[in-house]
Structure 1
Amino acid sequence: MSSHPQRQTDRGTAPLPGRVPTGGVPAQPPRPPGAFLQARKQARKPRPKRTGVRRFLPTWRMTLGGILLFLLLLTGAFAAGYLLVEIPPANATAVKQSNVYLYADGSPLARDGEVNRENVPLTEVPKPVQHAVLSAEDRDFYSESAVDPKAMIRAAWNTVTGKGRQSGSTITQQYVKNYYLAQEQTLTRKVKEFFIAIKLDREKTKDQILTGYLNTSYFGRNAYGIQAAAQAYYGKDCADLTTPEGAYLAALVNAPSAYDVSAHPENKARADARWNYVLDGMVKEGWLGERERAAMTFPKPGRTKAPPGMSGQRGYLVEAINTYLSGSGAIGEDTLQAGGYRITTSLDKRKQKAMAEAVKTQLMSRLSTSNPVDRYVRAGGASIDPQTGRVVAMYGGVDYTKQYVNNATRRDYQVGSTFKPFVFSAAVDNRSTTQDGRRITPSTLYDGSNRREVQGRSGPTGYRPGNEDGTDYGEITVAEATDKSVNSVYAQMGEDVGPEKVKQTAIALGVPKDAPGLAEARQSVALGVVNASVLDMAKAYATLANHGKHGMYTLVDKITKGGQHVSLPEREDRPAISRQAADTTTMMLRSVVANGTGTAAQSAGRPAAGKTGTAEEDKAAWFAGYTPDLATVIAVMGQDPKSGKQKPLYGATGLDRINGGGYPAEIWGRYTAVALQNTAAKSFRLDLQPGAEAEPSEPAESASSGSPSASSGSPSGSPSGSPTSSAPATGGSSRPPSTAPSRSPSHAPTTSPVTPPDEDEFFPESDGF
């Protein structure tokens, strides 16, 4: 028996306190409560401190807490929005107001007509037409909720990243916008639209919402709703629409002005693509058979009926103003159509009248109902103040109710040789040289032989453009080639400069970058195969007149609604080309008026620069010109009033052909003389390219101009600083005095004016679209 007393425990025998157990090892005292956890804590290595960037990063606990807080706030905001936002009564769009248009002096120009809307039940809209609209705007309408958050986020992202403004709205949201809310693109409106759409989806059936959408959407041509659109485009009730017709109307909802092929024939390719998109979507959704789809052709809409009060020039002007406002982003197209705006335009009432009278006196009064070619004649004009960019006058056609297409803004005719000054401007601006290294100036010599093969840096190009009437000019200066519009010289110059540089210069001056014939930047671009509008060319020539500075043009001076001013885009001048490039081009174009193909423009009675142009097959004749304070472009075009096809003007008004130096230049001269009457004539102040010689003498002032004689002066910044010389820039050669030569029948009418025919008889209510 051991000499050490022990005690019994539930875990066995343990030594008594204070006793040393057998073996000589003292007994350990019992551990206090929590000692084990404390020991582990002491044994654990201390957590390293957060250093560097990690100090500023949130912990996972903070991140999780932030997400939970965000979700809580989002849920609360959604609940609050749903409870607070009520479905309002119908907005003013449902009861459209008129817009009032004023001249720059505040006198009335036009007032648009009443809203064109006729509501129809969904049962009167054929199923294929319903499906076409769904294919175009919201293919998941019947299966989705009232809103599509994914589409909204995607649209917002595309807008922010510059891929174009997109709405991401379902048909329900679009209906809410059309019927209940204003059209402005604001965050407040989008939030209201979101909650009203959710509530509306709970209170109305999908069919009721689709019915409202079809009856409130704007389709263009002043047509609200599918029934009005069917009448406006196809002259039938919507119940009688075919599937291709319904697909075209569905395509219009996205952007009516962008897809209306009647107002703008150049929209045909874009409209056709959108139409195909709608039909292909119908096939994809199982709403249309592939065989039936393959047999469909584009349904050309019928003639357009102008709204009441839009006769004469008023309709053309209102259309151009509305297009400008929507295109510049000042007011959305659907917002503008809601009405209630008071729009003060930049149009000068006196100049507007002068342009209309000039076209009528110089051209329209010479047309005869007995000459079938005279039925093809169309005219367009646009006039801009170069310093301000304000459009002061525009001529769109004989009457908006008879010829609906605006000849001032259409972009389907080639500009011809009026493009050549852009080639020379590009040469000077880029300091270009000929193939053998000579700097291109007005006195640079070129081979003007007819059908001379254009030479590239690596040899012949195979391109052999012909001169007008097949004329061989031999060795000729650039200035003389400009006077006589020699194609072989400018084709070679375009190759020397480079088609891409020519293209970029034209765009900088004001020609649309997507203009047909320009985008490809081919060799022939130098000869004016580009399609641009009269207004486009007026903007470009205004840039030359403004010494190479280009500013955004404007048709509107002021807009108010309900007494509140509406913001307009600000004009920002930017250098398009160097002043020397613009001014040296001006000097050569002065010679065209003084001694070249544009002598008829001398009738303006003041210093002028300009260029004539003729499209291929003589389907259009142009004159583009400017004084220091007014840039104006006039075009005479040929178009069959029945088929809408472009037609040559051979035989019009009894002449063999119509050139830019004939009617267009004469209209330009008469208009400019009246438009600037009683204003002091200004001389060109030019900073010329080194090597360019002095400008030609100024033509004598006409007795009817009512302006004082222009004083001569030295070109501003001229290399020599000497007074203006009377010798033109021809590389040293002299020219005859600046007198207008006798004009051949191809350039001017030889018959006396006749009584204008009855317009209702002469201009049928169809433009072939």
Structure 2
Amino acid sequence: MGRAEERRARQRGGRRAAPRRRRPAPAAGGKPAKSLIRRMFTWKKILGTFFGVCLLGILGFIGLYLYVDVPEGNAAAQQQSNVYKFSDGTILARKGEVNREIVDLSKVPRKVQLTFVAAENKSFYHDSGVDFRGTARGLINTLSGKGKQGGSTITQQYVKNYYLNQDQTVTRKLKELVISLKVDREKSKDDILAGYINTSYYGRNAYGIQAAAQAYYHVDAEDLSVAQGAYLAALLQAPSQYDWAVATKIGKRLVTQRWNYVLDNMVEEGWLSKSKRDGLHFPYPKEPKGAPGLGGQKGYLVELANQQLEQRLMAQEGLTQSQAENAVVDKGWTITLNIDRKKQAALEKAVKAQLTSKLDAKKRKVDGDIQAGAVSVDPKTGRVVALYGGQDYYRHYFDNATRRDYQPASTFKPVILAAALEQSATTQDGKPITASTLYDGTSRRPVVDHGTKVGFAPPNEDDANYDDITVQEAMNKSVNSVFAQMGVDVGMDKVMSTANKLGMDTKGMQAVPAQTLGSMGASPLEMAGIYATFANHGYKVTPTILKSAENKGRSVDVPNPVGGSVISRTAADTVTSVLTGVVDDGTASESVASNPLRDGQQVAGKTGTSDENKSAWFTGYTPTLVTSVGLFGEDPKTKAHVSMKGATGLLRPPGRINGGGYPAKIWAAYTFGVTDKASFDLNTTQGAAVEPTETPTFTHTPTQTPSQTPSSAPPTSQSPSQTPSQTPSQTPSQTPSQTPSHTPTTGPPTEPTTEDPLDPDGDLTP
């Protein structure tokens, strides 16, 4: 070992040095050679590649710019008739008469012009006609399948409306970009703005600002106020959703917010003074008129088909609502509906025979306030086979079959029972909630949650007291106090969750005890879907009117209306079993069970009459058909909800239109005329449809009250399994394995008020 090595060894404390890594062999000139990765990714190569890609992109865009010409635009020529067919292929309607009148921009007040700029594109007067960032975002979303495009300028929207179409493809978006740049160079901003407001779709079958001014305010475009112009500008984001005449509460709130947004932008840009803006009030639109060729029920059927097609395009192709409406209305679609011609005719006939023929607004003002809506669904397929939206689409534009602004009242009670059964809920004293469970039916009994009063004590109809009553009898008589307590026993959050799973739109609804009375809003379409899910043994049914839609060889995917199980079969079948008691021995017995056309048909259903008699319902079903019928009190001028008391000349106190009356009569006249006799296939041991194996026993004898007395004469015709219950000891739902449980009584019952035979419903607040 040499001296140098010994010295290094001593410095290392006698340890041997670790083997050194081999350095790359020196290159020419004595410098070490670089690794392969470092040789491939030098900063010069990265920078060169970047500039190369940019250069190729620029050259490509220049080539595209030179290649793509501005086509001959003719928005009116793009309009084609939509053809609507019944389920058997026969023609229902042909709609395609375009309501458009082009007006010169000079005929539109300047500040009204500016409302559109403020709404859509504040930089319109100094941009290049293209929002590159928004277009890039749209291209990326399209390529990644995320859908919605955003950030289009007024110029881009005009190009899309006038020169192109609403397709969401990369090719179309690139063409839109190039044509927009060229149009911005070739045309003045005023020409572009005029084209935009004259080609846009505003809803109500109105294309262009002149048609929109007439449709919404019955004035010419030149007579529009700033406030009205701001509303029309706000509409373009979602014409149908924002149309005040048919908008939901959410839609009305959104369009009001957007109207304010438009005016605030005008103030921000200096186009409107703050004092004038503060003095403007929301300009409520006039009553709409139906489109030509859509009289009677046709308009309601066509509008629902259009809405469901638009929803499919939004989900399938990523269109915004405005784009989807533009892509559907009068664009040459062939749309086949699930509507059965014979059932549709039968439903219209039943409404006329049982209700509208009895209305005479000249004799009784209240008769002019009555609106009817109905939806009929096949529970096995989810197809909407018949629909009644109102007396005439021309006379009442708002579809009563799909409106959600009236309370479903006691037709919500089966949802509470379904939640109790699904959750295996118990009463306050820990007893399972079943069809035979005993509850205190005292009117105005305070609802309690484990000894604490929750501040809710609903009255029963006419303040009738039922003392101790089974769940089956409480459903038959529609006893409010029982289901209010049951809702708290189950947990209102769980009740509302079950409602949502069954198909009710519960967004924005509070999970409070008052909802047990059906105080939320719901539509006949919605309620038909909920009950169809019961009829289909718990498998989710989403009622669908759209069977197929084709356009120039392109078809739209229509999903199966029947989905997976949302509640157990036992829970769903138990609800059905209990609801047969409502028909055979409850609030629907007189109109449905005793109907001579029934011929032993097994039926389940529930009546409902809302607070102040503003709505009345019957939603019922056989094994093969579910139909929800609703009557609504609506002032024809103000559209306010009003009472229906005294309509058709019902003058005997209380003179109410109840769910067991006209709604149930319409249902029976229609259903028994279009269905064949069938029996429910039920997997349950509970409820009125199940015969007991022996007489059940009670821990005590309930006081005899109207709850144990039939509300009407026994039905003239019943299937063997449908034995009406007359006393608690005779309720078929009380099998030996189900010992009735009892919630504590808070006070002695009072004498019940005599029940009116014309109004057997038990869900009204006096």
Q: Could you tell me the TM-score, scaled by structure 1's length? A: 0.83
Preserved CA contact (<8 Å) 2:82 2:94:
yes
Preserved CA contact (<8 Å) 2:524 2:629:
yes
1:511 pairs with one of 501, 504, 516:
504
The residue that corresponds to 1:316 in the other structure is: 300
Task: Decide whether aligned partners of structure 1 residues 244 and 92 sit closer, same or farther in structure 2, where only a CA change above 3 A counts.
Answer: closer
How far is 1:694 from its partner? 5.2
Q: Which amino acid aligns with 1:316?
A: Y
Please tell me whether residue 341 in structure 1 is matched to residue 340 in structure 2.
no
SS in 2 for 1:494: helix
Please tell me whether residue 673 in structure 1 is matched to residue 672 in structure 2.
yes
Task: Decide whether aligned partners of structure 1 residues 127 and 581 sit closer, same or farther in structure 2, where only a CA change above 3 A counts.
Answer: same
How far is 1:746 from its partner? 3.1
The residue that corresponds to 2:582 in the other structure is: 592
Preserved CA contact (<8 Å) 1:587 1:696:
no
Structure 1 gap segments, 5+ residues each: 1-37, 704-708, 713-723, 737-741, 749-769
SS in 1 for 2:525: helix
The residue that corresponds to 1:441 in the other structure is: 434
The residue that corresponds to 1:493 in the other structure is: 486
1:556 pairs with one of 522, 541, 546:
546
Task: Decide whether aligned partners of structure 1 residues 62 and 421 sit closer, same or farther in structure 2, where only a CA change above 3 A counts.
Answer: farther
Q: Measure, in 1, the Cα distance between the counterparts of 2:722 and 2:214.
A: 64
Q: Measure, in 1, the Cα distance between the counterparts of 2:555 and 2:26.
A: 78
Q: Could you tell me the TM-score, scaled by structure 2's length? A: 0.83
How far is 1:590 from its partner? 0.9
Preserved CA contact (<8 Å) 1:122 1:207:
yes
Task: Decide whether aligned partners of structure 1 residues 90 and 105 sit closer, same or farther in structure 2, where only a CA change above 3 A counts.
Answer: same
> 1:38-187, aligned counterparts within 5 Å?
60=43, 63-90=46-73, 94-154=77-137, 165-187=148-170
**Percent of aligned pairs with the same amino acid:** 47
Q: Measure, in 2, the Cα distance between the counterparts of 1:696 and 1:285.
A: 75
The residue that corresponds to 1:573 in the other structure is: 563
Preserved CA contact (<8 Å) 1:443 1:729:
no
Q: Which amino acid aligns with 1:668?
A: W
The residue that corresponds to 1:401 in the other structure is: 394
Q: Which amino acid aligns with 1:218?
A: Y
Please tell me whether residue 375 in structure 1 is matched to residue 368 in structure 2.
yes
Preserved CA contact (<8 Å) 1:92 1:338:
no
Q: Deviations over 1:328-375 (max 9, x none)?
A: 336921011242112111101111111111111001111122111111
SS in 2 for 1:611: strand
Preserved CA contact (<8 Å) 2:530 2:541:
no
Q: Measure, in 2, the Cα distance between the counterparts of 1:297 and 1:726.
A: 61
What is the number of residues matched between the two proteins?
A: 677
> 1:444-483, aligned counterparts within 5 Å?
444-457=437-450, 459-483=452-476
How far is 1:40 from its partner? 11
Report which of the two structures shows the higher radius of gyration computed on alpha carbons: 1
Please tell me whether residue 199 in structure 1 is matched to residue 194 in structure 2.
no
Task: Decide whether aligned partners of structure 1 residues 490 and 82 sit closer, same or farther in structure 2, where only a CA change above 3 A counts.
Answer: same
Q: Which amino acid aligns with 1:683?
A: S
How far is 1:73 from its partner? 2.8
The residue that corresponds to 1:211 in the other structure is: 194
Preserved CA contact (<8 Å) 2:484 2:517:
yes
The residue that corresponds to 2:420 in the other structure is: 427
Please tell me whether residue 746 in structure 1 is matched to residue 756 in structure 2.
no
Preserved CA contact (<8 Å) 2:574 2:686:
no
Task: Decide whether aligned partners of structure 1 residues 338 and 184 sit closer, same or farther in structure 2, where only a CA change above 3 A counts.
Answer: farther
Task: Decide whether aligned partners of structure 1 residues 338 and 363 sit closer, same or farther in structure 2, where only a CA change above 3 A counts.
Answer: closer
1:238 pairs with one of 221, 224, 230:
221
Preserved CA contact (<8 Å) 2:408 2:608:
yes
How far is 1:81 from its partner? 1.4
The residue that corresponds to 1:354 in the other structure is: 346
| RMSD value, Cα | 2.9
Q: Deviations over 1:444-476 (max 9, x none)?
A: 111111111111146221111111111111111
Preserved CA contact (<8 Å) 1:306 1:400:
yes
Task: Decide whether aligned partners of structure 1 residues 140 and 617 sit closer, same or farther in structure 2, where only a CA change above 3 A counts.
Answer: same
The residue that corresponds to 1:683 in the other structure is: 679
Structure 2 gap segments, 5+ residues each: 1-24, 318-323, 693-712, 734-754, 762-766
The residue that corresponds to 2:358 in the other structure is: 366
Task: Decide whether aligned partners of structure 1 residues 644 and 725 sit closer, same or farther in structure 2, where only a CA change above 3 A counts.
Answer: closer
The residue that corresponds to 2:310 in the other structure is: 326
2:630 pairs with one of 621, 628, 635:
635
Preserved CA contact (<8 Å) 1:694 1:728:
no
SS in 1 for 2:645: coil
725-734 vs 322-331, which moves further: 725-734
The residue that corresponds to 2:409 in the other structure is: 416
Please tell me whether residue 649 in structure 1 is matched to residue 650 in structure 2.
no
> 1:507-546, aligned counterparts within 5 Å?
507-514=500-507, 519-546=509-536
Task: Decide whether aligned partners of structure 1 residues 730 and 254 sit closer, same or farther in structure 2, where only a CA change above 3 A counts.
Answer: farther
SS in 1 for 2:126: coil
Please tell me whether residue 733 in structure 1 is matched to residue 730 in structure 2.
yes
Q: Measure, in 1, the Cα distance between the counterparts of 2:68 and 2:506.
A: 45
Preserved CA contact (<8 Å) 1:442 1:731:
no
SS in 2 for 1:628: coil
Q: Deviations over 1:237-289 (max 9, x none)?
A: 11100111101111111111010011345432232222122222222222222
1:612 pairs with one of 595, 604, 607:
607
Preserved CA contact (<8 Å) 2:539 2:563:
yes
> 1:204-283, aligned counterparts within 5 Å?
204-264=187-247, 266=249, 267-283=251-267
Preserved CA contact (<8 Å) 1:620 1:635:
yes
Task: Decide whether aligned partners of structure 1 residues 294 and 730 sit closer, same or farther in structure 2, where only a CA change above 3 A counts.
Answer: farther
Q: Which amino acid aligns with 1:674?
A: G
Preserved CA contact (<8 Å) 2:580 2:688:
no
Q: Which amino acid aligns with 2:439?
A: Y
Q: Measure, in 2, the Cα distance between the counterparts of 1:663 and 1:61.
A: 84
Q: Deviations over 1:470-522 (max 9, x none)?
A: 111111111111111111111111111111111111111111233xxx62222
Preserved CA contact (<8 Å) 1:590 1:695:
no
How far is 1:174 from its partner? 0.6
Preserved CA contact (<8 Å) 1:418 1:622:
yes
Task: Decide whether aligned partners of structure 1 residues 442 and 69 sit closer, same or farther in structure 2, where only a CA change above 3 A counts.
Answer: farther
Q: Which amino acid aligns with 2:757?
A: S
Q: Deviations over 1:555-585 (max 9, x none)?
A: 1222233455443334451212111111111
143-152 vs 632-641, which moves further: 143-152
454-463 vs 577-586, which moves further: 454-463
Preserved CA contact (<8 Å) 1:696 1:729:
no
Preserved CA contact (<8 Å) 2:691 2:732:
no
Preserved CA contact (<8 Å) 1:479 1:730:
no
Q: Which amino acid aligns with 2:124?
A: F
Preserved CA contact (<8 Å) 1:544 1:583:
yes
The residue that corresponds to 1:24 in the other structure is: none
Task: Decide whether aligned partners of structure 1 residues 734 and 202 sit closer, same or farther in structure 2, where only a CA change above 3 A counts.
Answer: closer
Q: Measure, in 1, the Cα distance between the counterparts of 2:731 and 2:115.
A: 69
Preserved CA contact (<8 Å) 2:426 2:433:
yes
Task: Decide whether aligned partners of structure 1 residues 512 and 66 sit closer, same or farther in structure 2, where only a CA change above 3 A counts.
Answer: farther
The residue that corresponds to 1:662 in the other structure is: 661
How far is 1:90 from its partner? 2.1
How far is 1:387 from its partner? 1.0
